[in-house]
Amino acid sequence: MAYADTLPKQRSFGQTTRPDAWWVKPIFIFLGFSAFIIYSTWAAFQGNHYWLAAGGANYVSPFYSPEIFGDSPHAIFHGKPGFWPAWLPFSPALLILWVPGGFRFTCYYYRGAYYKAFWADPINCAVGEPRKTYLGERSFPLLIQNIHRYFLYIAVAFVILLAYDALKAMWFTDPVTGASHFGIGVGTLVMLLNVFLLSSYTLGCHSLRHLVGGFLDSKTKSPSCAKTYNCVSCLNSRHMMWAWFSLFSVGFTDLYIRLCSMGIWHDVRIF
């Protein structure tokens, strides 16, 4: 008799003897991720209201930075790239959002969360699943998740660029003289907080933890690796928290700059 035949039969979808509200967490995760995906996709296709120059401000949305091609003062190259298909509406965000999107999609925390909330595999611990077959991350397509560290490399560069944007947001242009002077607006604080949260999420990555020292069995042979590993481990222990906070902050930063740019909200200068 095969070993599997000696085991209790697989429970049907949602079947469990858990009396608690096990379905609440996956529903919240589903709604949270869905809301972000819908908003970020909508914002990415807008192609406008992603920077703020009113009042001498120097803000740019994190969805659009680095702006490789575009029409804002933050663009590296102005206009639309020549290779862009005519039938596809152009937005600078579409050139870069695959990086943070890919980084989060292949992140170990997000994987565990969306396998549960979107694929019900399993929908929660000790609760029956909808499917009898299972391939896991051992074969295509989920084998691709192993690319995570490559997304990490680019994501770290993006965080540095967003930090540069936040530094630039501390300089306001005088509309009369055209001179730049130091200042802090609410938007500056929003962008700084966003960089802090994105850094805490990115630098707590499981792959980074492995790459900076986790690959070593004897970390004492490399004290710098040991220290870096301990720092990354410290952030990594709250990776889920940073993942959610940074997801919210990056969306809110775009929303803040967008609404200020549209004149619905007004950026307040603190000094």
Partner 1 sequence: MNKTVTFRIWRGNSQGGEFVNYTTEITEGLVVLDVVHKIQATQANDIACRWNCKAGKCGSCSAEVNGVPKLMCMTRMDTLNTDKVITVEPMRAFPLIRDLVTDVSWNFRVKTKIKKFKPRPADAPDGTWRMQQEDVDRVQEFRKCIECFLCQDVCHVLRDHHKHDEFIGPRFLAYTAALEMHPLDTEDRLPELKQAQGIGLCNIGKCCTNVCPEHIAITDNAIIPLKERVVDEFYDPLAWIWKKIRPKG
Helix axes 98-105, 148-168, angle to 10 degrees: 130
Kind of pairing between the strands at 51-52 and 59-60? antiparallel
Cα separation, 169 vs 56, in Å, equals 10
- Interacting positions 69-128 with partner 1 (CB under 8 A): 108, 111-112, 115-116, 121-122, 125-126, 128
206 binds partner 1 (CB under 8 A): yes
Among positions 227, 237, 262, 266, the unique one binding partner 1 when judged by CB under 8 A: 237
Classify strands 77-78 and 171-173 as parallel, antiparallel or unpaired.
unpaired
User: Is 236 near partner 1 (CB under 8 A)?
Assistant: yes
Q: Could you give the CA distance from residue 138 to residue 43 in angstroms, rounded to a whole number?
A: 35
Q: How far apart are CA 248 and CA 246, in angstroms?
A: 5
Q: How far is the CB of 236 from partner 1 (least distance, A)?
A: 7
Is residue 14 at the binding interface for partner 1, with CB under 8 A as the rule?
no
Site for partner 1 (CB under 8 A): which residue of 78, 146, 174, 268?
Answer: 146
Nearer to partner 1, 82 or 217 (CB): 217
Among residues 84, 222, 241, 252, the one that binds partner 1 under rule CB under 8 A: 222
224 is a contact residue toward partner 1 (CB under 8 A): no
Please tell me whether residue 8 binds partner 1 under the rule CB under 8 A.
yes
**Percent helix, percent strand, percent coil in the chain, to nearest 5:** 55, 5, 40
Question: CA-to-CA distance for 162 and 152, rounded, in angstroms?
Answer: 15
For residue 148, the minimal CB distance to partner 1 (Å) is: 8
Please count the residues of this chain forming the interface with partner 1, following the rule CB under 8 A. Answer: 53
Q: Does 263 bind partner 1 (CB under 8 A)?
A: no
Distance CA 44, CA 143 (A): 28
* CA gap 100, 62 in Å, rounded: 10
**Backbone phi and psi for residue 69, each to the nearest 5 degrees, phi listed first:** -125, 145
Q: Which is nearer to partner 1, 45 or 150 (CB)?
A: 150
Q: Which among 3-11, 44-52, 252-260, 262-270 is the span making contact with partner 1, rule CB under 8 A?
A: 3-11
CB 228 within 8 A of CB 212: yes
Q: For partner 1, which is the closer residue by CB, 32 or 122?
A: 122
> Of 151 and 172, which has the nearer Cβ to partner 1?
151
Exactly one of 21, 86, 182, 221 binds partner 1 (CB under 8 A); that residue is: 221
R_g (Cα) of the chain, nearest Å = 22
Non-local (6+) Cβ contacts of 37 within 8 A are none
Footprint of partner 1 on this chain (CB under 8 A)?
A: 3-4, 6-8, 10-11, 16-20, 108, 111-112, 115-116, 121-122, 125-126, 128-129, 132-134, 136-139, 142-143, 146-147, 149, 206-207, 209-211, 214-222, 226, 236-237, 239
